[in-house]
Amino acid sequence: MTLVTLQRLAPASPDASTCGLCDAPIGGTTQDDLLVGQPGTAEVRAVICTRCGDAVVRLVEVCGSQMNVLIKGDAPRKRPAPKTTELEETRHRLSREAESLGRSA
């Protein structure tokens, strides 16, 4: 099972301009991060607005933290993959490595 961690009020990500869940603009505002993976090795999968973060918290309060989610009905909409430059990819990789080092220190 995949572990997803919601990091509330995460440090602002300069590369995030819209919420990874609802597409609301979030540049320069308070953000939450969805981290995927085991603690210490988790990576940011999506930067989300605090409103979506609140919705995730309420879902866990209603269902409990041990849950599986199955989506039925319409297929999820496909988003075009964001175009990233080599510089942006390097910046993301270095940021993840710095976070890991910061947590282990």
Give per-residue pLDDT as tens, 38-85. 888 888 899 999 999 999 999 999 999 888 888 788 766 666 666 667
Indicate if the pLDDT at residue 100 is higher than 90.
Answer: no
- Domain residue ranges in the chain: 4-104
Residue 77's CB is within 10 A of a number of other CB atoms, namely 5
Per-residue pLDDT at 30: 84
Per-residue pLDDT at 73: 83
Percent of the chain whose predicted confidence (pLDDT) is above 90? 31
Per-residue pLDDT at 82: 60
- In angstroms, the CA 88 to CA 103 distance is 23
Per-residue pLDDT at 47: 92
CA distances to 14, 46, 57, 88 from 23, in Å: 16, 11, 19, 20
Q: Answer yes or no: are the C-beta atoms of 17 and 25 closer than 8 Å.
A: yes
